[in-house]
Amino acid sequence: MKRRNFLASMAVPAAAAQRAAPIQRSEGPAEPVAGPKPAVALSHVGYLPKAQKTFVYRVTGAAAPAEFTIRELGYPLKSFQVSMPLKKAAGDLGDHMVGDFSSLDREGLFVATAGGERSVPFFVRKDAWRRTLPVALSYHHAQRCGVAIPNVHPACHLDDALRRDNGQHVDMTGGWHDAGDVRKWMDATMLAAIGLLQIARNLGAGWDLAGSGLAPLLDEVKWGNRYFLKMQDTSGTVWADTAGGVNGDNSDNHWTDNRIGTEDDRHILTTRLAQVQPLFILLQALVAQVYHEADPGYGQQCLAAARRCWDGEKPDGKTLDLGWWTMAALEMDRAAPSETYKSAAQTFARQLLALQNTEFVGSQRTIRGFWRTAPDNPAPYKNSFQATPAPQALVEMLLAYPNHADAPRWRDAVRLYVDEYVQPLCSRSVYGIMPYGLFLSSENQNIYRPIGGSMFYRYFGAVRGGRGWSGGLSSHVLGHGVLLARAAEAFRERSYRDLAYRQLEWIIGANPFGASLMSGVGYRNPYPFSVFAGLLPGGIMNGIAGNSRDEPVLSFDCGSDYRTCEYWSPHSGYYEWAVSLLERGA
């Protein structure tokens, strides 16, 4: 899907009722300035008292410190202070000194110091991560389309939208703006809604420590879902997007005058995108379950929409599609138990099993367990914002149907992926984050890291077409956080849980730039690419990207770089999903 072509035109807010001249966006320098790199990195959110805690010090050529010190902050000044050893740890992303302070289970606000450099203050407390969830929710509210959001934007896009195929106007008001722009992509924004529903499912009314209950979550999901339901045609098929442009361009990415029939009206892409169909079914089945008590009539309305899509659609057999279809069938069986849905889920799961590489390939014996892209495409599966649908589907099947005859195969498949693919790759850097993935060949334009035999890997996507660097991978990292959190529940494996937190910590400061990628949380936040609304607390940026040498890049030059600094809604959805799972198991 073409997500981020350049902004060809933008306009002033609808209240001005006037189109602005087009503004062009350049790609920036071929090899960008990477941004400031402090020596110290750790989680800006903090840590749970009993969690693994890792201190990272980047070696810059000077004599490396042998220890780091942690002291408690507060007033009057606290007297608690402790020093701990640092150990040298070489890795793909440079030489570092690493310290473990997991033994610090005392609740409080602390700062760590090494080599004369201080860390960001951080908490050790039981609610360290849960405290971020209301901030994350506020991002979705600020992205509402079709209504005035005080201090963000006036009522907007009340004239959405015209069908691209026949020019007919169809009411597509509502929903959320997807990113740092004002377009409304279905797959991306449905992932955001799924994240909110997972908070409700996993944490219930206690998700918000302020005691607001489920009402804010349910209200926000219903606002987004009013648009999703409108995007289903009479055949049951769900359309692709509103305002994505006319020819894959950015011509619809603007404010409008809110009057139907004028030249600034935006367009609906009525094309069928394969992954949109199961995501829609999955979402509506989740709505039916979460709203079962709060609004049963609405839940049944959404379940009926899911059935219409189910009856008219089927998987295309590719890994991405099959993963979502398996989860969609499973959630349909939970929402409306039926042998039809259960049998379909089991059939799709078997097809997923057939696409996994259980043997070593590429003349190497280091990595296995990853998925092929499709039956006729042996390339290792990679997707920057839908990273783990196959193993996620199988761990969900295992937890839903533990006594099924195929359960041992689902169990083995997930363990193989995590133990012999995810963990070995994560261990190659001191940050413990999941690289982008494997490649069957290398190219002269990029540096690839050999894994053995004829296979390679990169932390970031390959750079092509003179773009300078690839896009950030926040959803990729956070999607693996979701998988690892769920696998930790399924197998009662603490190491999976610890690794899930490392994915979250990368987003919130434990990275080479010591930067938090969530606005309003943590420190050293880059300015986001959010050209219509500006800063939105809780929004998560595309994140750290890579250049042709597979070195990390993050834009700090306030140049509105969309590849690293644009808000995208899937990042928020995966973050909410992962945090709610980990909080449930805390």
Mind listing the domains of the chain with CATH numbers? 46-124 (2.60.40.10), 129-584 (1.50.10.10)
H/E stretch holding 342 reads helix 339-354
Task: Note the pLDDT of residue 291.
Answer: 97
Specify whether the backbone of 541 is left (phi greater than 0), alpha (psi in -120 to 50) or beta: beta
Task: Note the pLDDT of residue 432.
Answer: 97
Cβ partners under 8 Å of residue 224, min gap 6: 140, 174, 175, 176, 189, 192, 193, 196
Residue 311 has pLDDT above 80, yes or no: yes
| Helices (H), ranges, 355-406 | 389-400
Model confidence at 316, pLDDT cuts 50, 70, 90, reads very high
d(CA 195, CA 571): 9
Instruction: Output b/e per residue, 212-234; b: 16+ Cβ within 10 A.
Output: eebebbbebbbbbbebbbbbbbe
CA angle 572, 573, 579 (to 5 degrees): 85
Radius of gyration in angstroms for the set of CA atoms belonging to the chain, rounded to a whole number: 23
Q: Which of 565, 569, 564 is nearest to 545 (CA)?
A: 564
Model confidence at 467, pLDDT cuts 50, 70, 90, reads low
Strand 552-553 relative to strand 455-458: parallel, antiparallel, unpaired? unpaired
Instruction: Output b/e per residue, 380-402; b: 16+ Cβ within 10 A.
Output: bbbbbbbbbbbbbbbbbbbebbe
Residue 1 has pLDDT above 90, yes or no: no
Q: Which of 440, 437, 413 is nearest to 425 (CA)?
A: 437
Pair 142, 116: CB distance under 8 Å: no
Residue 268 has pLDDT above 70, yes or no: yes
pLDDT in tens, 572-583: 999 999 999 999
CA 306 to centroid of chain Cα atoms: 24
Pair 101, 21: CB distance under 8 Å: no
How high is the mean pLDDT of the chain?
Answer: 92
Residue 289 has pLDDT above 60, yes or no: yes
Lowest-pLDDT range of 73-77, 148-152, 155-159: 73-77
pLDDT in tens, 77-116: 777 999 999 999 988 998 999 999 999 999 999 999 999 9
Residue 5 has pLDDT above 60, yes or no: no
d(CA 1, CA 377): 18
**Residue given tokens 């991405």 in the structure block:** 320
Q: Which of 55, 53, 40 is nearest to 115 (CA)?
A: 40
- The percent of residues above 70 in pLDDT, for the chain, comes to 92
- The percent of residues above 90 in pLDDT, for the chain, comes to 85
d(CA 268, CA 433): 38
Residue 14 has pLDDT above 90, yes or no: no
Model confidence at 231, pLDDT cuts 50, 70, 90, reads very high
Model confidence at 9, pLDDT cuts 50, 70, 90, reads very low
Write the DSSP assignment of 409-461 as a string of letters: HHHHHHHHHIIIIIHHHHTTSTT-PPPSEEESS--TTS--EEEETTEEEESSP
**Residue given tokens 């400031």 in the structure block:** 36
d(CA 144, CA 178): 9
Phi, psi of 166 (to 5 degrees): -130, 0
Task: Note the pLDDT of residue 77.
Answer: 72
Residue 178 has pLDDT above 70, yes or no: yes
**Helix or strand or coil: residue 258?**
coil
Model confidence at 586, pLDDT cuts 50, 70, 90, reads confident
Residue 15 has pLDDT above 80, yes or no: no
- Provide mean pLDDT across the span 555-561: 77
CA 576 to centroid of chain Cα atoms: 9
pLDDT in tens, 473-497: 999 999 999 999 999 999 999 999 9
